[in-house]
Amino acid sequence: MGHFTGDGIRRSAGVFICWRGVRLDGWDYLGEPTPFNSSRSSYFGIIDLAGFKKDRFFLYQAHWRPDFKMAHILPHWNWPERADLKDADGKPAPTPVHVYTSGDEGELFLNGKSLGRIKKGPREFRLRWDDVSYTPAH
C-alpha cells in the first residue's frame, strides 16, 4: 500500500487527495481485524496501538508539512541476516533505502562512506537509493 499512497501523493501536487488509498483512520485500533482469523486489531493506521508513529506517518509529514524540517530513513539497519541474501546472479541483494524528508536534497552515508547526494524532483516527497548493498553498521 505504501507505493500506492506514495504515487497518489506525488501526483496530487499539494491537493489534499490520495487515490487508491484513503486515510480514514489515524491510529490502529482493536476490532475489524485483518486477517480476521489470526488477529484482533486493525493495522491500517499511521500510528500503532502503543502510540508509535509508523513510516507512513513520516511520509505524510514530509509532504504536508514542508515548513517542518524532518528526515525519516527506512528500512532499519539492524538486519544481520540481510547480509547473506543474494540476487539471481549470486551478488549481494540490493537493499533500497528511502528517506522521507521535507528538505530538498540529502546525502546517504554508510559506515562513513558517501553513497551519493540526491535532489528531490518536482512534486517528490522522498529520496531513494535503490542499489545499496547491506553492510552492518560499525
Q: What is the pLDDT of residue 116?
A: 97
Residue 99's pLDDT is 96
User: 73 pLDDT exceeds 90?
Assistant: yes
CA 51 – CA 127 distance, rounded (Å): 26
pLDDT over threshold 50, residue 4: no
* Of the candidate ranges 35-39, 116-120, 128-132, 133-137, the one whose mean pLDDT is the lowest: 35-39
User: Which H or E run includes 111?
Assistant: none
pTM for the predicted model, two decimal places: 0.74
Q: What are phi and psi of 64, to 5 degrees?
A: -95, 0
Helices (H), 27-110: 55-64
Query: Which carries the bigger pLDDT value, residue 63 or residue 9?
Result: 63
Q: What value does the mean pLDDT take over residues 32-59?
A: 82
What is the average pLDDT value for the chain, to the nearest integer? 80
Task: Spell out a b/e string for 64-78, using b for 16 or more CB atoms within 10 Å of the CB, else e.
Answer: eeeeeeeebbeeeee
pLDDT of residue 11: 47
**To which residue does cell 490502529 refer?**
28
